[in-house]
Amino acid sequence: MTKLGLAISLDRCIGCQTCANACKMQNSVPMGMQWNRVVTEGCDIMDGAHGTYPDLSRTYLPIACQHCENPACLKVCPTGATYKDEMGRVEINYDNCIGCRMCMAACPYNARSFNWEDPVHDPDFNYGDKDVPVRVKGVAEKCTLCKERTDRGDEPMCVKCCPTKARTFGDLDDPKSAISQLIREKHAYVLLEDKGTKPQVHYFD
Amino acid sequence: MGETTVSRGALSRRSFLKGAGAAAGALGLAGAAGMTTAQDWLAPAKAHAEGEERVAYLCHQFHCLSACCLKCTVRDGRLALIEPNDALREEDQRICLRGINEIQHVYAADRIQTPLRRVGERGEGKFEAITWDEAIKAVADAIKESQAKYGDNSFFFRKSTEASSAHGSGYLAALLHAETGGNWGLDRGQANGLDAGCGVGAFRATNNALAEWPLASTIIFLGFNPLESSIAWTKAFFDAKDAGAKIITVDTRFSPTASKSHQWVSVKPGTDAALVIGMVRAIMDEGWYDEEFMKAHTGYPFLIDRATGEVYGVMRDVTDEKTGKVSRKKAPYVWDVATGTARLFDEEGVDPALEGTWEVDGRTLVTEFSALREAYEPYTLEWAGEVSSVDPAVIRGLADDYANRGPAFLCFGLGGPDKYTNADVLGHALVLVTALTGNTGKKGCGTGWYGGGGAFHATSALQSWKLPEEFKASKSQMPMYDMPYNDNNVHVALTFGDAFTLEAADANSMLEWVKGLDFFAICDIYHSSAVDYADIVLPACSKFECDEEVTDLRDAKGYLSLGQKCIDPLFESKTDLEIERLIAAQWGYDQYLPKSHEEYARHRLSKAKGNIEGFTIEKFQANQGVLRYLDSDEPVRSTLKFATDTGRMEPYYEKQIKFGQAFPTYETPNEAYEDNAKRQQYPLVFMQGKSCFRIHAYYSASAWFQEYFGPQVNISPVDAEARGIATGDAVRITNDRGTFVCTALVNNAIQPGTLFMAETTYNHYYPEGFLQNVTNSHRQERCYEMTYGPQIPYNDTLVEIEKA
């Protein structure tokens, strides 16, 4: 089997938002939405810090769909629009999405966005990968692990563009893959492990 | 709902560029009724299922100094995807959010769409659309009239950082004998102090440090934040970290670079020189200096006359090995230990004493090193700690790491400690520590700014475009930043990009001066801060647009890049080259300019030799627009031959005896110092620096970036609480130079007593004013005698902040 995932080095993440903008471009993510965002952990502003000056620390945390092995969103989807595909990715069949937003309530990672109105693109045309499907008002959307790129054998756009090479993409089922080795060597962990969602996005310091 | 899953290449169900109305609004067009909207300018996408795609390649911005080579996918005539150019070696492929956001930024509402003529008051921003013919004639008539009446140098011309090195030839100033505004006043604060001891140009990096960083044991960043300012350089940062280098960042703010370093040293604003002087003192006191290096490669053993402070030596003719030019230079004496006599420093067999005092011919002579020990008697570690607010033990630790761990770098950036009036003292102090430890001219060490100079020499092998002899820019009357304060002959100005508010502080004084000019025209892509003050506005296109297949030939750090056209110029915009030709044609001078980018590129490559031998346009086109010229990964390293009178690194500046700066003497910044009485009214230091969402003001217009970022000031929780300020509040920042309003962010990373704001955002995005209204334009008098002149001390600024 193939189980695609990501491993992200938090030491190398500099909070530059390149992955977030690469995702927006590739997937034609509309204005006001982000499939992939980089937060400064525990801060209400970007580039904030923990502690009292000058005893400070800072961790940038990139968050998107965790492509869980046991996805909370999938379980609550009443139409089967959310599904786990043969490559281990969590995907959405937009045609089957009825806009109930049960998935959004269920996702502990707040990874999904919803098209409350007709999506606004600026510039107002379908930039991005030509194979990425158009979404309309009333459907949920999120990181697809760049399905269109990874189907072609390419790595996701966030991985390709990351200036510090903080992101590694690959098959978690292959113990020899670079990602599997990294996860072992760096003692990588997942977010909100206690939720039992078994994320396929791993982080290490 | 089958329609929702049609492919991305298909026609959108909605009309293109709904936001066009906003563009007209931003421009405040008086004649908006007649203004064509962006929707009319762009042809609609074709209504077929699969969009037509092609790719084009170019080199992106130069002024973040990253020179990313990009692969741009164009679908139905529009930019659709921007990725790294994969014709480069994998390790050289790079991009950051700034390159990616061009997908939107190129089409931003702030684009200048047509030539404009002012119809309101200067500064009011009311314009009417006119034709290119009308605009060019108005510009040329104003220049001609002024030059006939007041002389050639009454016409000021400048391409600002936002505009230069893209799409143009840059010869308009020479063709029209323009005043170009002399010394730039930017980025060369430390360089004024550094170059005097190492040779002019040394600050640009004594070697190719980006590739060298992994070879270092210690890297100290002084007020340098490359992880945000030059994101594409972060690879070298992490390579160095992986290789085991200890990285220390000295910064007032807990910057992204500070948070990724092994150690962050918090320093009071404008006191970095005291910290480095403290390091000098520690290295001397602990004996951590390299005596052999000092004797062989520095001026430390040179003798000086205690009575006059002058270097004891003889004047003699020296022939330059390369040029054969003979010049008269002073050859200093040293005290020869073997013979017990004063002998010339470069005599065969001399064994110089490093320390001591001797009587010769009624003179008391002392070595520079001994004189430094005496001069630095008051500069104890405790003193340095008190001035900089850094624990003396930490300063001693910095000196230890720098002197004793192995090869070490001292790196500064362009936008930190250089923007205080005492930056030359800091630069000079850097010479002292470098000359003490020998951290230069060998693997894995160096001192200076590491913009990736050194190995990257391809452009020097390119042919320059020759103008006939008579075409030369006027001899400059004074730097541009001096013009609001001193009488000058400038009556008419033309700038490509915003020079007046980006390359000067104290905008109220500068713009008052601009308003007093007979005529001002600006050529710009976007509605930048200076546009509202112009009489005529010329719409330039971005580097993604061109009217021919090839665009600029550019150096891209180890590669040459020949840009390709991605899309046609939007609206009525034109390339810089075409605009330059149109203006020159008004004098019949267009005949002296390249007719096209292709002709210009062919000429520049016409005698390609050295590491670019055989490079042709056809070869570029066959290789995705890039050709690599570096044939080795081995960095070009500086030698131990310095471009000074003695060829050595010279810590003692005889020419600065009159300023009390023969050795660097600490002085406070002009305004941002502790005991300044002004603090009672304006207690906070206002600093600016880089953000990942800007290169200077560029990308202000990006709708994508506006979702994250705008005119925001960061304030410490202590200062915010004292003033009742919370994140998101509108705040007013004021001093006696001016005022502006922006949004507050309460941020733990900010040193109490300081404010931090990323430079900068076009003025019309602020509720009122903009940040340059408060910045300090003081000119440091002694710097007029230095290589780069006074530098603009943007950060040497005191303000008060309150809820607006």
pLDDT value, residue B458: 62
Q: Averaged over B216-245, what is the pLDDT?
A: 93
User: By the 8 A CB rule, do B593 and B169 touch?
Assistant: yes
Residue B262 and residue B235 share a domain: yes
A123 and B104 within 8 Å at the Cβ level: the answer is: yes
> Of the candidates B2, B45, B751, which has its C-beta nearest A125's C-beta?
B45
Number of CB atoms found within 10 A of residue B722's CB: 12
**Domain-located, residue B708:** yes
B96 and A31 within 8 Å at the Cβ level: the answer is: no
Residue B322 and residue B376 share a domain: yes
Assign A171 a pLDDT band (cuts: 50, 70, 90). Answer: very high
Across all residues in chain B, what is the average pLDDT?
90
The domain total for chain B is 2
- Reference B395, options B246, B266, B300; nearest CA is B266
Query: Domain limits at B733?
Result: 677-803
pLDDT value, residue B233: 81
The fraction of chain B above a pLDDT of 90, given in percent, is 80
Retrieve residue B135's tokens. Answer: 């605009």
Assign B205 a pLDDT band (cuts: 50, 70, 90). Answer: low
Q: Given a cut of 70, is residue B48 above it in pLDDT?
A: no
Residue B748 and residue B652 share a domain: no
Q: Note the pLDDT tens digit of each residue in B501-522.
A: 999 999 999 999 999 999 999 9
What's the Rg (C-alpha) of chain B? 28
Retrieve residue A65's tokens. Answer: 């769909």
Any B CB within 8 A of A53 CB? yes
Residue B409 and residue B321 share a domain: yes
pLDDT value, residue A118: 96
The helix/strand/coil state of B504 is: coil
Strand partners, B304: B311, B366
Cβ-Cβ contacts under 8 Å, A14 against chain B: 227-228, 231, 234, 256, 260
pLDDT value, residue B452: 55
Any B CB within 8 A of A42 CB? no
Assign B32 a pLDDT band (cuts: 50, 70, 90). Answer: very low
Q: Averaged over B169-196, what is the pLDDT?
A: 93
Strand partners, B157: B494
Residue B351 and residue B249 share a domain: yes
Q: Note the pLDDT tens digit of each residue in B777-787.
A: 999 999 999 99
Retrieve residue B698's tokens. Answer: 């560029």
- Reference B227, options B180, B183, B264, B272; nearest CA is B264
- How far is the C-alpha of B457 from the C-alpha of B636, rounded, in Å? 10
Residue B402 and residue B257 share a domain: yes
Closest-CA distance, A26 to chain B, in angstroms, reads 7
Residue B305 and residue B346 share a domain: yes
pLDDT value, residue B35: 35
pLDDT value, residue B164: 58
User: What are the CB-based long-range contacts (under 8 Å, 24+) for B600-607?
Assistant: B600/B169, B600/B465, B600/B553, B601/B550, B601/B552, B601/B553, B601/B562, B603/B463, B603/B465, B604/B462, B604/B463, B604/B464, B604/B465, B604/B553, B605/B462, B605/B463, B605/B553, B606/B463, B607/B463
Assign B4 a pLDDT band (cuts: 50, 70, 90). Answer: very low
Q: Given a cut of 50, is residue B720 above it in pLDDT?
A: yes
Number of CB atoms found within 10 A of residue B124's CB: 13
Give the CATH number, domain containing residue A163: 3.30.70.20
Q: Averaged over B260-283, what is the pLDDT?
A: 98
Least confident residue range of B191-195, B386-390, B718-722: B191-195
> Of the candidates A18, A56, A130, which has its C-beta nearest B53's C-beta?
A130
Residue B654 and residue B684 share a domain: no
pLDDT value, residue B81: 98
- Chain A residue with minimum CA distance to B237: A164
Q: Given a cut of 70, is residue B204 above it in pLDDT?
A: no
- Reference A132, options A26, A30, A34, A5; nearest CA is A26
Q: Given a cut of 50, is residue B20 above it in pLDDT?
A: no
Cβ-Cβ contacts under 8 Å, A49 against chain B: 254, 259, 747-749
Assign A151 a pLDDT band (cuts: 50, 70, 90). Answer: very high
Give the CATH number, domain containing residue B737: 2.40.40.20
Q: Averaged over B605-624, what is the pLDDT?
A: 93
- Chain A residue with minimum CA distance to B727: A45
**Domain-located, residue B508:** no
Retrieve residue B275's tokens. Answer: 């910290």
**Domain-located, residue B671:** no
Enumerate residues 87 to 106 of chain A having a beta carbon within 8 A of any beta carbon in chain B. Answer: 94-95
Burial of residue B315 (CB within 10 Å: 0-12, 13-18, 19+) is: exposed
Residue B647 and residue B757 share a domain: no
Q: Averaged over B385-394, what is the pLDDT?
A: 98
How far the first Cα of chain A sits from its last, in Å, is 28
pLDDT value, residue B25: 34
Assign B212 a pLDDT band (cuts: 50, 70, 90). Answer: confident
Domain-ending residue, one of B609, B633, B659: B659
Q: Note the pLDDT tens digit of each residue in B347-358.
A: 999 999 999 999
- Please name the helix (run of DSSP H) or strand (run of DSSP E) that holds residue B449, with its range, or none: strand B446-449
- Reference A166, options B245, B558, B231; nearest CA is B231
Residue B423 and residue B388 share a domain: yes
Burial of residue B655 (CB within 10 Å: 0-12, 13-18, 19+) is: exposed
The domain total for chain A is 1
Residue B231 and residue B328 share a domain: yes
Angle made by CA atoms B618, B624, B625, in degrees to the nearest 5: 60
Residue B343 and residue B428 share a domain: yes
Q: Averaged over B82-86, what is the pLDDT?
A: 97
Q: Which residue has the higher pLDDT, B314 or B231?
A: B314
Residue holding tokens 């936002």? B162
- Please name the helix (run of DSSP H) or strand (run of DSSP E) that holds residue B59, with its range, or none: strand B53-59
**Domain-located, residue B67:** no
pLDDT value, residue B304: 98
Assign B713 a pLDDT band (cuts: 50, 70, 90). Answer: very high
Assign B611 a pLDDT band (cuts: 50, 70, 90). Answer: confident
A161 and B83 within 8 Å at the Cβ level: the answer is: yes
Q: Note the pLDDT tens digit of each residue in A23-52.
A: 999 999 999 999 999 999 999 999 999 999
Assign B34 a pLDDT band (cuts: 50, 70, 90). Answer: very low
**Domain-located, residue B81:** no
pLDDT value, residue B17: 29
- Chain A residue with minimum CA distance to B257: A14
Domain-ending residue, one of B615, B630, B659: B659
Q: Averaged over B77-85, what is the pLDDT?
A: 96
> Of the candidates B9, B235, B727, which has its C-beta nearest A164's C-beta?
B235
pLDDT value, residue B622: 97
The fraction of chain B above a pLDDT of 70, given in percent, is 90
Assign B321 a pLDDT band (cuts: 50, 70, 90). Answer: confident
- How far is the C-alpha of B742 from the C-alpha of B728, rounded, in Å? 9
**Domain-located, residue B314:** yes
Q: Is B290 left (phi over 0), alpha (psi -120 to 50) or beta?
A: beta
User: By the 8 A CB rule, do B342 and B349 touch?
Assistant: no
**Domain-located, residue B354:** yes
Any A CB within 8 A of B96 CB? yes
B260 and A47 within 8 Å at the Cβ level: the answer is: no
Q: Which residue has the higher pLDDT, A119 or B464?
A: A119
pLDDT value, residue B451: 67
A127 and B228 within 8 Å at the Cβ level: the answer is: no
Any A CB within 8 A of B35 CB? no
Closest-CA distance, A196 to chain B, in angstroms, reads 32
Closest-CA distance, B81 to chain A, in angstroms, reads 5
User: What are the CB-based long-range contacts (under 8 Å, 24+) for A83-91?
Assistant: A85/A147, A86/A2, A87/A2, A87/A3, A87/A4, A87/A150, A88/A1, A88/A2, A88/A3, A88/A4, A88/A5, A88/A172, A88/A173, A88/A200, A89/A4, A89/A144, A89/A145, A89/A147, A89/A150, A90/A65, A90/A142, A91/A144, A91/A147
Q: Given a cut of 80, is residue B259 above it in pLDDT?
A: yes
Query: Domain limits at A10?
Result: 4-204
Angle made by CA atoms B178, B184, B186, in degrees to the nearest 5: 160
